[in-house]
Amino acid sequence: PPHQDGSRAGRDRKKTVSFSSSLSEKKISSAADCIHSMVEGSELKKIRPNSRVYQRYYLLDAGLQALCWEPSKKESDKARISLASIREVRTGRNTETFRTSGVYEQISEDCAFSIIYGDVYENLDLVANSAEVANIWVTGLRYLMQYGKHALDMLASSQDSLRLNWLEQLFSSAADSDRQEDVEEGIRLQSAIKLIQSVNPGVSGGKVEHRFKELQRVREKINERVTKQEFIEVFHDFCTRPEIYFLLVQFSSNKEFLDTKDLMRFLEAEQGMVSEETSLKLIQSHEPSEEGRQQGYLSLDGFTSYLTSAECHLFDWEHDTVCQDMSQPLSHYYINSSHNTYLIEDQFRGPSDISGYIRALKMGCRCVEVDVWDGPDEQPVVCTGHTLSPPLALRCVIEAIGRFAFVASEYPLIICIENHCSLRQQKVMWKHLTDILGERLYTNPPHEGDLYLPSPHTLRHRILLRGKKLGPGSDGEDGEVSEEDEGAEMCQRMKSNNPPQLPFKRFQLLKELSDLVTLCCSVGFIDFPTSSKNQKPWELCSFHESLAVRLAGDSPGDFVNHNKHFLSRVYPNPMRIDSSNMNPQDLWKCGCQIVSMNFQTAGLMMDLNTAWFRQNGNCGYVLRPAIMRQEVSYFSADTRDTVPGVSPQLLHVKVISGQNLPRPRGSEAKGDVVDPYVYVEIHGIPADCTERRTRTVIQNGDNPIFDESFEFQINLPELAMVRFVVLDDDFIGDDFIGQYTISLECLQPGYRHVPLQSLTGEELPHAKLFVHVALTNRRGGGKPHKRGLSVRKARKGRDYTALRDLGVRVVDEVFKMAAPLLREATDLRENMQNSVALFRELCGMSAVANLMQCVLALGSRVSAPDGTPLLLFDLRDHYPSLEPQGPLPDVLRRVVSTYDMVRREESKQLICFLFLRVYITEIHQKEGKTKQKLAKKITNQSATSHLLCT
C-alpha cells in the first residue's frame, strides 16, 4: 500500500517495528532536504474548477528545471510546468478554484497549496496527504524560484553553517571538560546526553542514549564515547523541529536563517510587535552561535529558543497585573468565590481544615463561606450542620482569614456568615470578628439614597460580612430573622427524592452582629418584579444552583437585568455531596457575580474558574461585559445567535504540534507509548459553545505534528474561554494527558506555546502545544466555502441595532438625530470589511490575515519576468497607495482597484465618525443638564457608551 505521505519511496518501504523513530526517517530541516524529497516525488490531489479531484504523482525532473506529473493525457513534454514560469507558490485554500469548489470543506487548509504560473497567471491547485508534504513542496519550489537549477549547489556550500560551527564549538568545549586531548576520539556518552538535554530539557536521557547506541550498532561500533559526527546526527534528531524550520523559511527570504529585517517582519506580521531594536535584542538573547550574534542572524536553534521562551507564551503577561477599571460598583464585577471553604474533600463525611481557607485565599478567592454553630466550652465552631464533617474552632478560622485575606489581592474580601448560634455564642463570634479583623471590617452603613455599591478600588483592604440583618424597627435590641441552612436542605435531599419543602425557621440575631453587616445584607428571593420594586443595592439574594439554572432558562433577560443592580450569589446544588462543581459560565452568562465553587475539586469547572479570574491579575474581580452593565442594553443569556450591539469575532486556531507529552497517569497497558490528539473547546454563551478535534498521531509523544486549523465564530468575546485538552487515543477509553484553559481576552496572537497542566492544575514539566492564533472581525457574510462578493450580505439584508427610548426627551431627541448616521456607520463598517476581505482573497491570504501579511504576500509577485517591478507602494500618503508601473495583468489590476476601494471606505468612515463626535458632544451637554432625571434611568455608564456600543 502507498505510504501515508504519498511518496514513491514509501511504497517500497517495509513496515518495521521499533521503540524509537526509524533512523531512515530523517527530519526535514533544510531546503536541500525538501528538494531531494521533491525529486523522489509525492502523490498529490489536483482540484479542478468543476470540483473534480484527480490523483496524480508529481515530481521534479532530475535537472531541477520543471515540475512533471503522471499519469496524464497530455504528451509527456506538455505534462510539465517550467519552474521559470512560476510566479507564486501560495499556501492554503486561497484561490478562486478552491473557494468555489464543492469539496472546499473536505480540504484541509494546511494541506492545500497553489502554483500560480504563466503570463496569464494560471493556477494549479493541489492538496497533499499531510501538512508536512505541502510544506516540503512550498519551501522547495520557493527556493528553486529564487536560485534556479543551481539551488542545490548553492545550498550545499552554505548549508547549516551557523548550526554546524556552533555544534563543533559545543562539542570541543565538552571534550575539554572531559580532559580529552584528541577531539576526534569523541566525548563521553553521558556528556553528549547532557549537551542535548541542555538544548531540549524535555527529552528523556534514556531515549537519547538508546539512539546513540542504535546508531553505533548500525555502524558496528559500540563504546562509551561519542564522535563529533554521531553527536551532530543525534542532536539533529532530538533538537530539530521541522514545523519551526518551515516557519523560519517562510519569513527568511529563502535563506536558512532570519536576519534582523526578516525577524522584524515576522514580529510585526504575526506576533504583534514592531521594532528593529526588538529584533536585535531577541537575536542577542536567543541566538546560541557567536557568529550569528555578531552578524545579526537568528538560526533555526535561535528561532526555536525564542518561540519556546516566556515571550511566546499564549497568555498575555499584561494580564498578570490588574488591568481593568476597578472604580465601578461592586455589582459590576464577577467575584471569585468558594463554597464551604473549610472542607477539603466531600460535603458529607470529608475532613475540615484551616488549609481550605489558606489555599483558596492564596488562589485569589474573594468570597469565603463560614458556617457557624454552637460549640463546646462556649466557643463557636465552623462546620456543615447535619453532616459528619468534623468542626473547626471559629477563632482559628477567623485568624487564618485575617492572616491571608490580602496576600493575593488588595481588593475587598467577602465573608459569607451562615449563623446558627445561640445569642450567647453570637457574642463570642462578634468578639472574635472585631478583635481579630479590627478596622479592616467595613461597617459604614449605606446611605438610603445610594443607587450603587462602592467600588472594589474604594473598598481595598476591607472585609465585608455577608449575612442576615435586623430590620429598621429593632430599636437597638436583638431580634428575630429567618435562618439560612444549606446543610439542612442537603440532608433532607439525601433522605428523600422529592425536593424539600423547608419552612422558614427563625432565630434570634444579636444586634451587634447585625450592625457588622452593611453592604451585603442577605435577603430572600421572591421574584424579579418584587426585587426590582423593593430590593436595595446593598441587599443580595442567594440562589441554589437548581433555582438559578431554572431562572436562567425561564427568564434569562430578567435575570441579567436584576444583576445590573444587585449582587447575586449562587451555591452548588445540595445534592453535590461529592463536592463536584457546577459550570460557572451557566451563571456568569446571566450576570451572577458570586458563583461559589468547591476549590478542593479539580476538573473542567475549576479550570474554567481559575482561567477566568486570571485575566485581571488574579485579583478575584473581573469586570462583567458592558452589555450586562449598561442600563439601556438588552442581553438574553440563552442567545444562540449574534448579540445585538456586539461585533462577533472570528477565532482561527491552528494546532501545529506537541512537545514532551507524558504518558497518562495510571496508564500501564501501552508502556511509554502515547497516541495523542487535541480537543479545542470554546466555552461561553450557548451560541459560542463548541469543540473541534485533531486527528490522532500514532505512537509519538515527543514531537507529534498535528497541523490542523479550526475557525470559531465568537459572538460574545468578553465571556468566551478557549480550552486545549490533550488525550491519549486508546481502544478501551481515552486517557487525559494535559489541558490549558485561557480567557479569550488573554490570548496573544501569532505563534505561541501552550504549557500543559495536569488534572489538578500543576504545570507538566516541558509538556507544551505549539499553536497559531489569530482573531479578526467576522466576515461580511456568505458561507465558508463560497467567499466571493456575489454571496456577501446585500445592504438591504443588514441588521441594524434599534435604539431604545430612555424616557428623557432631550436625550432621546439627540439619539433619534444620530440614528441615520449610526445606520450609515454600520453600512460603512460592513463595506470596509467586505473590501478588506476581497483584498485578502486577491492577495491569496486566508480570512484571518492582516493587511501587513497581505502586503508581504503581494510583494512576492509584483515583478515582471525580467525582474522589473509592476507595482510600487507610494509611502508619502498617510495611507500608502499602489502605483502601477505600466500595463498590469488582470489579476493585479483587480488587486489595485480593491486596495483603492479599501482606502475610500476608510476615508468615508473617518468623516462619518467626525459627525458622530459632534452628536456625542451634544449628548454630553444634554446629559449634564438633565443629570438628576438620568440618575434614576441610566447606570453610571454615560449615554455616550450606549451610543458607541450600538
DSSP string across 495-548: H-SSPP-----EEEE-HHHHHH--SEEEE----HHHHHHH--TTEEEEEEHHHH
Look at 207-211, 321-325, 608-612, 770-774 and tell me which has the smallest mean pLDDT.
207-211
Look at 12-16, 107-111, 362-366, 930-934 and tell me which has the smallest mean pLDDT.
12-16
Mean pLDDT computed over 641-665: 88
The amino acid occupying position 158 is S
Look at 310-314, 431-435, 839-843 and tell me which has the smallest mean pLDDT.
839-843
Over residues 236-273, the pLDDT tens digits come to 889 999 999 999 988 887 788 999 989 998 998 888 87
Mapping DSSP to helix (H, G, I), strand (E, B) and coil, where does residue 135 land? helix
Over residues 473-492, the pLDDT tens digits come to 666 677 778 777 665 554 45
Q: Name, in order, each residue with C-beta under 8 angstroms of 153's C-beta and a sequence gap of 6 or more.
A: none
Mean pLDDT computed over 278-283: 90
Distances (CA, A) of 888 to 470, 894, 896, 902: 83, 10, 10, 20
Mean pLDDT computed over 631-655: 83
Distances (CA, A) of 305 to 27, 286, 298, 311: 18, 6, 10, 10
Asked if residues 617 and 320 have their Cβ atoms less than 8 Å apart, the reply is yes
pLDDT at 179 over 80: no
Q: Which three cell numbers stand for residue 827?
A: 453600512
Q: Within the chain, what is the greatest distance between any pair of CA atoms?
A: 106
Backbone angle region of 300, left / alpha / beta, with phi > 0 → left and psi within -120 to 50 → alpha: alpha
Asked if residues 674 and 737 have their Cβ atoms less than 8 Å apart, the reply is yes
| Residue 252: closest CA among 137, 90, 139, 113 | 139
What pLDDT does residue 151 have? 74
Look at 124-133, 324-333, 885-894 and tell me which has the smallest mean pLDDT.
885-894
Over residues 345-356, the pLDDT tens digits come to 655 456 778 999
pLDDT at 642 over 90: no
pTM (two decimals):
0.82
The distance from CA 299 to its chain's CA centroid, rounded to whole angstroms, is 28
Q: Name, in order, each residue with C-beta under 8 angstroms of 870's C-beta and a sequence gap of 6 or more.
A: 862, 863, 864, 884, 885, 886, 888, 889, 892
C-alpha–C-alpha distance, residues 58 and 67, integer Å: 7
Mapping DSSP to helix (H, G, I), strand (E, B) and coil, where does residue 343 land? strand
Q: Name, in order, each residue with C-beta under 8 angstroms of 221's C-beta and a sequence gap of 6 or more.
A: none
pLDDT at 931 over 60: no
pLDDT at 513 over 50: yes
Confidence of residue 894 (pLDDT cuts 50, 70, 90): confident
Mean pLDDT computed over 52-57: 92
What pLDDT does residue 158 have? 57
What pLDDT does residue 579 have? 82
| Residue 83: closest CA among 58, 112, 55, 56 | 58
What pLDDT does residue 789 have? 31
Mapping DSSP to helix (H, G, I), strand (E, B) and coil, where does residue 3 land? coil
List helix spans (H) across 148-202: 151-158, 161-177, 189-199
How does the average pLDDT of the chain come out, rounded? 81
Over residues 683-735, the pLDDT tens digits come to 999 999 999 999 999 988 889 999 999 999 999 999 999 999 999 988 676 78
Taken in order 939, 944, 948, 950, the sign of the CA dihedral is: positive
Distances (CA, A) of 890 to 119, 121, 893: 10, 9, 5
Beta strands in 348-501 (DSSP E): 367-373, 381-382, 392-393, 413-419, 463-467, 479-482
What pLDDT does residue 853 have? 73
Per-residue exposure over 8-21, b if at least 16 CB sit within 10 Å of its own CB, e if not? eebeeeeeeeeeeb
pLDDT at 3 over 70: no
pLDDT at 938 over 70: no
What pLDDT does residue 322 have? 96
C-alpha–C-alpha distance, residues 932 and 922, integer Å: 17
pLDDT at 494 over 50: no
Mapping DSSP to helix (H, G, I), strand (E, B) and coil, where does residue 460 land? coil
What pLDDT does residue 582 have? 93
pLDDT at 879 over 60: yes
Triad 211, 215, 216: Cα angle to 5°: 120
pLDDT at 783 over 60: no
Look at 445-454, 634-643, 650-659, 805-814 and tell me which has the smallest mean pLDDT.
805-814
Distances (CA, A) of 492 to 385, 386, 496, 580, 581: 12, 10, 6, 19, 20
pLDDT at 8 over 60: no
Mean pLDDT computed over 725-754: 91
Confidence of residue 792 (pLDDT cuts 50, 70, 90): very low
